[in-house]
Homo-oligomer: A and B are copies of this chain.
């Protein structure tokens, strides 16, 4: 099961009701915070996401609308006497950025911050947990920026219980069978694992791509992901502005989705200049079928058969 909760998805200029970029991805019970614009801690509260579940925070780039909420969140964790380590993945400079603020505000934390500074221009695996792999997706923006690709790790092979029972195979062997081992019967006969199991269930994947200019060379890396969140700051009528500010249009996001044959495209990072975000969906749908719009507080849930 994978669930994405949008805490904020608007670009920099604030309105009373709009929040800058931040989102929570939950994959099989593991919780990841992606970007942390101002007000993220309040948005986490509003969406009832327990602070203690967050162990990894990924920051795409050091523009304010993606990181100005980080110091407040880190401080609050300290006030709440958090104990577990907190891992922060972000551009080189992020450690200094946070530590300088902690020092000046004389904030002493109850827990350990572990920074993982990024500076590679190539995709790089940055985290592997029990259930998930995370790698960077190098993007193209006015400053060094990464997207993040979350891939559920393949689980165990699926036992064919009726076959196992028919062969009277002891349950004690199941643990090794799900890992792919063959079984030797008392008779000496070896039963191939493929006869006892089905392959592991299909896994889910999520690619977060914000902020970025139109960058078709990410298509290879995100080929076939189940869900792609791609920024669409502008509509096509402002393609010149998108080019100048190194953002994308809704149509360009659609092209990436279509070329990468993703399962679903979620658009976000809308400029405040547009009244109706539905226009982003319409524009994107001219090139790709399955388009959804992000909005603060919206949840997207994905299951596999």
Contacts and interface: CB of A to CB of B under 8 A. Distances in A.
A45 B14 contact: yes
A69 interface: yes
Copies of chain A in the complex: 2
A16 B105 CA distance: 23
A171 interface: no
A97 B101 contact: yes
A160 interface: no
A40 to B, nearest CB: 9
B67 A68 contact: no
Interface in A140-178: 142-143
B68 A45 contact: no
A275 interface: no
A202 to B, nearest CB: 37
A110 to B, nearest CB: 13
A39 interface: yes
Given A64-B107, A104-B93, A76 B42 contact: no
A285 B79 CA distance: 30
B38 A69 contact: yes
A42 B45 contact: no
